[in-house]
Amino acid sequence: MIPAPLVLAVSIGYLALLFTIAAAANRAAAHGRSMISNAWVYALSLAVYCTAWTYFGSVGRAAAGGIWFLPIYLGPMVAMLVAWIVVRKMVRIAHAHRITSIADFIASRYGKSPTLAALVTLITVIGIIPYIALQLKAVSAGYQILTASGGATPAAALPWWRDGTLIVTLALALFTILFGTRHLDSAERHEGMVAAIAFESVVKLVAFLAVGLFVTYGLFGGMADIWAKAQSVPEIAALFSPNTSRAFDYTQWFALTLLSMLSVLLLPRQFQMMVVECTDERHVRRAAWVFPAYLLAINVFVLPVAIGGLVLFGPGRMDAETFVLSLPLTQGAPALALFAYVGGLSAATGMLIVETIAVSTMVCNDLVMPAVLRRPGFAARAPGDLTGLLLNIRRLAIVGVLLLGYLYFQVAGEAYALVSIGLISFAAVAQFGPALLGGMYWRGATRAGAFGGLAGGFLVWAYTLMLPSVAKSGWIPDAFVRDGPLGIALLAPERLLGLSALDPLTHALFWSLLVNIGLYVGLSLRRAPSGAEASQALLFVDAFARHPGAGAPVFWRGAARLDDLMALAGRLLGPERARAVFEAHATETGIADIGDLTPDARLVERVERALAGAVGSASARVLVASVVDEEPVDMEDVLQILDEASQVRIYAHKLEAASAELKAANAQLKTLDQLKDDFVSSVTHELRTPLTSIRALSELMLDAPDMDEAQKAEFLRIIVAESERLGRLVNQVLDLAKIESGLADWHTADVDLAHLVEAAVKATGELFRARGAQVEAHLPQGLPTVRADADRLMQVLMNLLSNAAKFVPEGGGRVDVTLRREGDSLVVAVKDNGPGVPAGEGDTIFEKFRQGGDALSRPSGTGLGLPISRQIVDHFGGAMWLEQESGGGATFAFRLPLQPGGGRTP
Amino acid sequence: MKGARNRPGNDPGPRPEVLLALFAAALLLFNFPLLAVWNVPATVFGLPVLPVALFVIWAGLVAILAMVSERRREGGDGPA
């Protein structure tokens, strides 16, 4: 055993450490540096899911039934797969509307209904109490194990003031109050708490892994060794054998998976961490896989520890829920036991802190405040700041919730295992599923449907699960559960209508969700949503349709006075924060002095949103309504407002599109300008070359009058050739310019390509003969005509053929011209056996002034032939390309589409 | 719109179709009747098949989710 003062000192020291971390995070936040704005911290904060249930209860469950502890963690894995879709939408909605709790979320969705908010809060408080009791039970049981010798039964009943659990409860209440309600935050964010919880997540994981490693590799020789040893004890072997006694209950397995899938989204503390405390919705992306990975890690050693404990202690001799502590304690590692206790403390306190803060916010905003506001003359009677009142309500709520948990622990705690207690709470919060998830995706859901579903589901839950749990503890006669009320067997809580095929939990989950969903859908379909419901439905369901910042439509009509709004905001937010709200609005609307603000719908909505952060959306609605004259918004108004808003959005869209187009056009112009510059410089360069040689030769002849005739004639011939080249170049440049600008004359007619190719081959025959090359044309008969300009096509063919003539080897050249039909077009290919086009130049060869080969060896030419040819072919809707031959040689080909309705033979 | 890609609100993230497919796969792999396939009285590496199978599937899902989540996707709008 470990001396009690040491355990106490370590526990208090640990809580003090948490407090220091939280204070540091708060200080950093005050200086504008967030310690928690980070996907890893966010993921760790989600691990608040792992409570004392995980830490102690899983091992107990595993020792009793093998892998049955797992579905509770497989559900979150499955849910997190769609976190990017669902959780991100929840975060987006919550941040847009300053939603601070799950009650607020549901109430806000169904027209900011205070009744709905109160119902959700009530369900949460009642539903979550067993779960809080579970944590208290774990902490106090752990303490007893550590301090008592041998982990025997705790000392006989102590008077209540010496009851350790009560003291722990009150200490935690104090701690939570210090943690969570030091000041009022308009967004209900708690940087310090999140930092502390993330730290706790690390501690509990490390502690559990340490125990797991100690048991698996310290006490045994690995997992396989534990399993082998377990097999040799018949009682343990029977427990884990898949095909013994009872059949595997697949229905319950599915129910547990579904339950935990819903719980990981809907538990108040998960909602608080996942949605309210989320600093950036992009963090969801990484957290979606880090969080399940964390769960995986913390579960790996559950079975080894459970089975190892059974092997060492013998089955049934020691409470398996305390193996994490009792194994190191009895096997000579008390320091590890103490560390494990700190880990369990982390798991329990983390849950308690976040859960009670979340629940106290709900109790304050959705139960107490509406009642306070409804008191007659409240507005007139209570002048001044209300922030202090709000904080005090929350502090009281924290103490109240924890004490209720303690009460449940006293009433029912001893009769149940940790896991069973937790599952009761899971089933309660699962009731939020239809209203919350349905509300995010179904516009037609109404307040009546949500209310009916929640109330119905909750009542069935209370009757089929909560009541039996109290009955089993002996507070209600047990016959009630066994035989049904007044002996009516059909109404027996755990066998409703005689349904006895399911275990109690699955049974309760099935009936409650059936009633819940049935009423939700049925009542929603019965009546169309009202104006207020429809407007909120649109804001929720289409949360991603709006650009962040583009401003949602404001569904509000009426008249307000600026002074009233300012006074209201000042009372609930405190004067400074209220002033900041109005100043932000003034800056956005471009007004210098906040006294000049127009109290229009936007401002009213802004004030309401700011208030919602402090007191919840339903209370904020009531408060704002009390200081302004508003007209009821009916369905027609909603549509009209929406229409106006979408008009503005459409204009904004158009403007954006137009400016994008302008940008693109500008970029294109710039490129064209660059191209033109390149073109001009290329043209001038090409013009200068022949001009230079003409000038040089002319000057030579002028300077040497006695030059001999042969020399002179040679020079003159060059001059003439160069002039011709110059002329050709100028013509081609003009030609290209004409085609490109669309000013060229086209004489379109039916052209027989075979005929044309033949003529072209004939016309270039002399060129080939001069180089000793052979030309062969393969022209099938009876091909259809194309619509084109015969002269221009001739130009293309001549260009390709003369190019081929230039590149074929002297003497042994061979050129094949083929014409064939391919689908709806005709293809002409000119194939030569020249050197081919060097790799990498295939694309550039069609650009202006790019001639094949290097400058020295290439034959004379202007470099414009191919670009012009391509332009011509393009003009007729065709395409020109280069086919490289592997064995040398190049094939230039082009395709022309057959005329519409073509295919007939001429 | 090209500019929208860098705004916090329009991080395209993993494709919704992929996530939904993984979701369906996970539900199937963790439940009857596939669960009955792993639930047999045999051992792998000296350990019973069922827990090993569940942990392996679990790790696989985490790995795939990590892969599709951490991959930068170019362009595209967020899921509606």
Q: Using CA atoms, how far apart are residues A834 and A812, in angstroms rounded to an integer?
A: 10
Residues of A in contact with B78 (CB under 8 A): 544
Query: Quick one: CA dihedral B23, B25, B28, B31, positive or negative?
Result: negative
If you measure CA to CA, which chain A residue comes closest to B2? A660
Q: How many CB pairs under 8 A join A and B?
A: 122
CB spacing of A285 vs B69 below 8 angstroms: yes
Q: What is the CATH number of domain A638-740?
A: 1.10.287.130
Nearest residue of B to residue A656, measured between CA atoms = B1
- What gap in Å lies between CA A451 and CA A107, rounded to an integer? 10
Q: Where are the beta strands (DSSP E) in A810-905?
A: 814-822, 825-832, 879-884, 890-897
Interchain CB contact of A664 with B (< 8 Å) = no
Cβ neighbour number for residue A330 with a 10 Å cutoff:
16
User: Helix (H, G, I), strand (E, B), or coil: what is residue A749?
Assistant: strand
User: Cβ(A440)–Cβ(A449) under 8 Å?
Assistant: no
Contact (CB, 8 A) for A23 and A175: no
Give the integer Cα–Cα distance in Å for A76 and B56. Answer: 16
Instruction: Please report the pLDDT score of residue A491 as a whole number.
Output: 78
Distance, in Å, from the CA atom of A59 to the CA atom of A344, rounded to the nearest integer, reads 13
CB A903, CB A784: distance < 8 Å? yes
ipTM of the predicted structure? 0.86
A236–chain B nearest CA distance, Å:
14
Q: Is A432 helix (H, G, I), strand (E, B) or coil?
A: helix
Contact present, A431 and A458 (Cβ < 8 Å)? yes
Q: Answer whether A85 sits within 8 Å of B43, measured CB to CB.
A: no
Q: Cα dihedral angle (A136, A141, A143, A149), rounded to 10 degrees?
A: 170
Over the Cα atoms of chain A, what is R_g?
A: 42
CB burial class (10 A; 0-12, 13-18, 19+) of residue A637? middle
Å between B78 CA and nearest CA of chain A: 8
Domain regions of chain B by residue span: 14-70
> Does residue A660 belong to the interface with chain B, where contact is any CB pair within 8 Å?
yes
Cis peptide before B33 (omega within 30 of 0): yes
Query: Which residue in chain B has the smallest CA separation from A250?
Result: B32
B40–A242: do the CB atoms touch at under 8 Å?
yes
Measured CA to CA, the distance from residue B11 to residue A285 in angstroms comes to 10
**What number of CA atoms fall less than 13 Å from residue A638's CA on the CB side?**
16
- Chain B residues within an 8 Å CB radius of A71: 30
Q: CB B1 to CB A286 under 8 A?
A: no
Inter-chain CB proximity B19 and A228 less than 8 Å:
no
**String of DSSP letters for A549-578:** TS------EEE--HHHHHHHHHHHH-HHHH
Interface of B with A (CB under 8 A): 1-2, 4, 7-9, 11, 13-14, 16, 19-20, 22-23, 26-27, 30-32, 35-36, 39-41, 43, 45-48, 50-51, 54-55, 58-59, 61-62, 65-66, 69-70, 78-80
Query: Strand, helix or coil at A825?
Result: strand
Is A61 an 8 Å CB contact of chain B? no
Q: Which of B51, B61, B62 sits opposite A67 (nearest CB)?
A: B51
Smallest Cα–Cα separation from A190: which of A40, A343, A18?
A: A18
Return the axis-axis angle of helices B49-70 and B16-29, rounded to nearest 10°.
Answer: 180
**Which residue numbers in chain A have pLDDT < 50?**
150-159, 161, 245, 380-381, 548-550, 852-859, 901-906
> Are A873 and A796 a contacting pair, CB within 8 Å?
yes
A649 touches chain B (CB under 8 A): no
Partner B contacted by A591 (CB < 8 A)? no
Angle value at C-alpha A268, between A266 and A269, nearest 5 degrees = 110
Query: Going by DSSP bridges, is the β-strand pair B43-44/A629-631 parallel, antiparallel, or unpaired?
Result: unpaired
Query: So what's the pLDDT on residue A452?
Result: 94
- Using a CB-CB distance cutoff of 8 angstroms, which residues of chain B are in contact with residue A280? 8
- Considering only CA atoms, which of A636, A606, A650, A597 is closest in space to residue A624? A606
**Burial (Cβ within 10 Å: 0-12, 13-18, ≥19) of residue A77:** buried
Of A316, A302, A414, A421, residue with least CA distance to A56: A302
A81: which chain B residues are within 8 Å (Cβ-Cβ)?
Answer: 19, 22-23, 26, 61, 65
Residue of A541, A548, A543 whose CA lies nearest to A437: A541
Provide, as residue numbers in chain B, all residues whose Cβ is less than 8 Å from the Cβ of A92: 9
Helix (H) or strand (E) holding A833: none
List the beta strands (DSSP E) in A696-843: 748-751, 774-778, 786-789, 814-822, 825-832
A48 close to A269: Cβ distance less than 8 angstroms: yes
CB-nearest to B59 from A257, A296, A549 is A296
Q: From the centroid of its chain, how far is CA A301?
A: 31
Chain B residues with CB inside 8 Å of A241's CB? 41
Going by C-beta distance under 8 Å and a sequence separation of 6 or more, which residues neighbour residue A317? none
- Alpha carbons A887 and A890: distance in angstroms, whole number: 9
DSSP symbols for A507-531: HHHHHHHHHHHHHHHHHHHHS---H
pLDDT in the model for residue A787: 84
Q: Which of residues 252-281 of A touch B (CB under 8 A)?
A: 253-254, 257, 280-281
Looking at the complex, report in whole angstroms how far the Cα of residue A352 sits from the nearest Cα belonging to chain B. 28
Count of other CB atoms within 10 angstroms of residue A567:
14
Cβ within 8 Å of residue A28, ≥6 positions away: A34, A35, A191
| Cβ-defined contact of A285 to B32 (cutoff 8 Å) | no
Option in B48, B54, B61 nearest A240 (CB):
B48
Chain B contact for A237, CB < 8 A? no
- Interface probe with B: pick from A40, A68, A78, most Cβ of B within 10 Å: A78
CA-closest candidate to residue A128, choices A434, A424, A368: A424
Q: In this complex, which of B23, B31, B41 lies closest to A82 when CB atoms are compared?
A: B23
Burial code of B51-80, b = ≥16 C-beta within 10 A, e = fewer?
Answer: bbbbbebbeebbebbbebbeeeeeeeebbe
Q: Report the 3 state secondary structure along chain B.
A: CCHHHHCHHHCCCCCHHHHHHHHHHHHHHCCCCHHHHHCCCCEECCEEHHHHHHHHHHHHHHHHHHHHHHCCCCCCCCCC
* A510 interface with B at CB cutoff 8 Å: no
Residues sharing a CB contact under 8 Å with residue A714, sequence separation 6 or more, in sequence order: none
Among B5, B35, B58, pick the best mutation site for testing chain A contact (most A Cβ within 10 A). Answer: B58
**Whether A573 contacts A614, CB under 8 Å:** yes
Tokens linked to A274:
């996942």
| Nearest neighbour of B32 by CB, restricted to A77, A85, A254 | A254
C-alpha to C-alpha distances, A626 to A380, A579, A598, A601, A629, nearest whole angstrom: 11, 20, 19, 15, 8
Q: Which of A37, A72, A81 is most worth mutating to test chain B (most B CB atoms within 10 A of its CB)?
A: A81
Given a cut of 90, whether residue B19 has pLDDT beyond it is yes
For residue B53, which residues of chain A lie inside 8 Å, CB to CB?
Answer: none
Going by C-alpha positions, the residue among A843, A849, A882 that lies closest to residue A865 is A849
**What residues of chain A lie within 8 A of the CB of B45, using their CB?**
224
- Looking at the partner chain, which of B11, B20, B47 has a beta carbon nearest the beta carbon of A223? B47
Contact by Cβ (8 Å): B80, B11:
no
Question: What chain A residue is nearest to B48 in terms of C-alpha separation?
Answer: A227
Q: Name the phi and psi angles at A632, rounded to 5.
A: -60, 140
β-sheet bridge partners, residue A881: A893
Query: In this complex, is the C-beta atom of A728 within 8 Å of any C-beta atom belonging to chain B?
Result: no
Answer whether B36 sits within 8 Å of A248, measured CB to CB. Answer: yes
CATH class entry, domain A745-897: alpha beta
Using DSSP bridges, classify how beta strands A814-822 and A774-778 pair: parallel, antiparallel or unpaired.
parallel
Phi, psi (degrees; rounded to nearest 5) at A190? -130, 85
Closest by Cα among A618, A628, A572, A565 to A594: A565
B43 forms bridges with which residues in the sheet? Answer: B48
Identify all chain B residues contacting A248, using CB atoms and an 8 Å cutoff: 35-36, 39
**Secondary structure (3-state) at A496:** helix
For chain A, the domains span 4-24+34-71+132-371+386-415, 554-628, 638-740, 745-897
The owner of tokens 């998960």 is A270
Write out chain A residues lying below 8 Å of B28, CB-based. Answer: none
The answer to whether B51 contacts A280, with C-beta atoms less than 8 Å apart, is no
Residues of B in contact with A243 (CB under 8 A): 41
Contacts of A303 in chain B (CB under 8 A): 51
From A78, A242, A303, residue closest to B23, measured CB to CB: A78
Cα(A123)–Cα(A130) distance, rounded to whole angstroms? 12
Chain B residues whose beta carbon lies within 8 Å of the beta carbon of residue A250: 31-32, 35-36
N-term to C-term CA, chain B? 16
* CA–CA min distance B3, chain A (Å): 10
Contact (CB<8Å) A293/B62 = yes
